[in-house]
A and B are shown apart, each in its own frame.
Chain A
């Protein structure tokens, strides 16, 4: 056991780091939370363009698609290194991570010509329109319908929790095209232009004060039949391919930050509180568990193996521990931070 890169991995890491430090500043606490949305989007688009030009936009995509033709392991290393810098990456994660791979897998040559490069260069942003008010975990129960009308489909219904819809140019849209067959069999996937008439995007005001998600209403929205992804009724299979791409997301989030809380408690003079120390130990163990599990996933990838389901524990650990640690920090350590 060791935590070292192979020589090839080390070489790629050095290359990635050199590129990053040439273009970005190292990450500082809170940097990504400051500034207004327009600034952030402009910076994000500029950074995406820089990455595309440098050959770091999509590491695992084939070169003919504008990718690097690299390994999954290189993708992981890039994610780790990019996370150390003040890199505005959020707006492109869904489009490049999920939507465009779906377009590549199921779209026509015309689609690939039209959409892949602009997305890669940060010129166009994509969102994913799956969930509905009555179809969350049971997404195959969705009701937004599409009715064929000549060479077009007419869409009516509502989507919800659509991340980034308010600044997206296009989306992949899962709708019901046949209400008379079992629920998984009546679905079809389309490409939708988010700026066209009849598409009404309403941001959801979150408890945190921010707005990252939206409700999206479709009223008599017309989509050309040629913008269908996969055959009518095959939408569920197409959606599974979209979601599969999510499983390789092993970079990014650092997990619960026990150290930030420990430093706070030390400065507030409450680090000696035994109940607090007890909880701090739990947070450290959870954060380490999360971080080290990613190392195990990375090891499997590095050895050319397929990682197991262990990589999915992050969501459960992080969601719970962020709530628990924030609560305990304000109650036991006596500080409240926005």
Chain B
């Protein structure tokens, strides 16, 4: 039994934590929160690029560090802890993983090194507004290598240089790679309840696009990409949830009421214990997802779904209970609780809502136990 990260991976985690605690503080996060013109924190982003983390799971032959998926999971947890206000996930979890999965040799050679060195920021554009996406309902069209339609919301869509876009392609759906700095693309930043991460609406009007993977294979490929990204997002959520529990615990020890620390009251103790249980359930499910991801296991679909469901629940719960433990201060702008609550809400709907992942999970279990 070896169901934990290795000493080397734990060393990477400790180093990443030290680095981010110094370089990505809540003050850095608030620079983006308090300034509508900022899509991300450029200083923090440059330092993360310099660390080489974007290439952690990109093979050395494509300009990456060639570490592996477990190392990327470790980094994701640390980025989640600090609410890093940067487009890391869009580039590393979605765009890079999609290329690794389905890119042609030429595409990989052209794009992966640029992701690793930060000169390319990738994103994924699937949603077209409220509702589930299915082949029959996609309005964005691919015809003769050009793309028309509108995607909203696209996480990091305003700062990305490239996007992977889901489009209707004849009778099926395909994924395509689009350079966003071309005349057929217009972007409009949109405000969400999580201002420390940027979002945009992107309109395509005859933009040139190249296929990612086989034509007509868009939906199954998207599922595969989402399974991989889901595990990594689960680690970000886990990091955020752990930090919420630490904040709540520290405050419960410090804040006095009726002559004693509020942590001495069962009303608070039980909140902390419930947060802890959900966090550990999330951690164990995330580790299982990491194992499935790193070993290309056949169990990846249910492992990713379980990791995602557990982590979404844990982060949401921990972020809301953290607010309550902080009492009235918990819902002020000044105290950091709301930053975690916002991030929990955002991450819970990336790559599909918990309801979507629960259905994926039960479908996978059903298929397996037929």
Q: Contact residues of A with B, CB < 8 Å?
A: 1-5, 9, 258-259, 262-263, 271, 277-278, 280-282, 284-286, 288-293, 295-296, 298-300, 302-303, 309-310, 313, 316-317
Contact = CB atoms under 8 A, between A and B. Distances in A.
A281 B291 contact: no
A302 B1 CA distance: 7
B280 A293 contact: yes
> Interface centre among B280, B285, B358, B365, by most A CB within 10 Å?
B280
A322 B138 CA distance: 42
Nearest to B284: A292
A281 B281 contact: no
A277 B360 CA distance: 10
Contacts of A296: 3-4, 283-284, 287
7 contacts: A1-B3, A2-B3, A2-B291, A262-B369, A289-B310, A293-B280, A296-B3
B123 interface: no
Given A295-B284, A316-B277, A285 B1 contact: no
Contacts of B313: 285
Contacts of A4: 1-2
Given A277-B362, A281-B305, A296-B4, 4 more contacts: A1-B3, A281-B358, A284-B306, A292-B285
B62 interface: no
B294 interface: yes
B329 interface: no
Contacts of A316: 273-274, 277
A313 B361 contact: no
B285 A3 contact: no
B358 A295 contact: no
A295 B287 CA distance: 11
B288 interface: yes
B2 A302 contact: yes
Contact of B281 (A2, A298, A313): A313
> Interface centre among A259, A290, A291, A295, by most B CB within 10 Å?
A295
A292 B362 contact: no
Interface of B: 1-5, 70, 273-274, 276-277, 280-285, 287-288, 290-291, 294-295, 305-306, 309-310, 313, 355, 357-359, 361-362, 365-366, 369
A289 B2 contact: no
Contacts of B306: 284-285, 288
A278 B359 CA distance: 7
Contacts of A281: 305, 309, 357-359, 361-362
Contacts of B280: 289, 293, 310, 313
A285 B281 contact: yes
A75 to B, nearest CB: 13
A1 B361 contact: no
A298 B365 contact: no
Nearest to A308: B280
Contacts of A299: 1-4
A138 to B, nearest CB: 12
> Interface centre among B2, B5, B306, by most A CB within 10 Å?
B2
B282 A2 contact: no
Nearest to A76: B1
A290 B273 CA distance: 15
B282 A289 contact: yes
Given A286-B281, A299-B1, A302-B2, A1 B291 contact: yes
Contact of B366 (A271, A282, A290, A310): A271
B230 to A, nearest CB: 13
A172 B261 CA distance: 36
B277 A1 contact: no
A278 B358 contact: yes
Given A1-B2, A313-B276, A293 B284 contact: yes
Nearest to B5: A1
A288 B369 contact: no
Contact of B358 (A3, A9, A277, A303): A277
B309 to A, nearest CB: 5
A290 B281 contact: yes
A285 B281 CA distance: 8
Contacts of A3: 1-3, 291
A259 B361 CA distance: 13
Nearest to A315: B277
Given A1-B3, A1-B291, A262-B369, A277 B277 contact: no
A270 B199 CA distance: 40
Q: Return the 8 tightest CB-CB contacts between A and B, nearest first.
A: A289-B281, A292-B284, A281-B358, A295-B3, A1-B291, A293-B284, A277-B362, A299-B4
A313 B362 CA distance: 24
Contacts of B361: 281, 284-285
Contact of B288 (A288, A290, A300): A288
Contacts of A291: 284
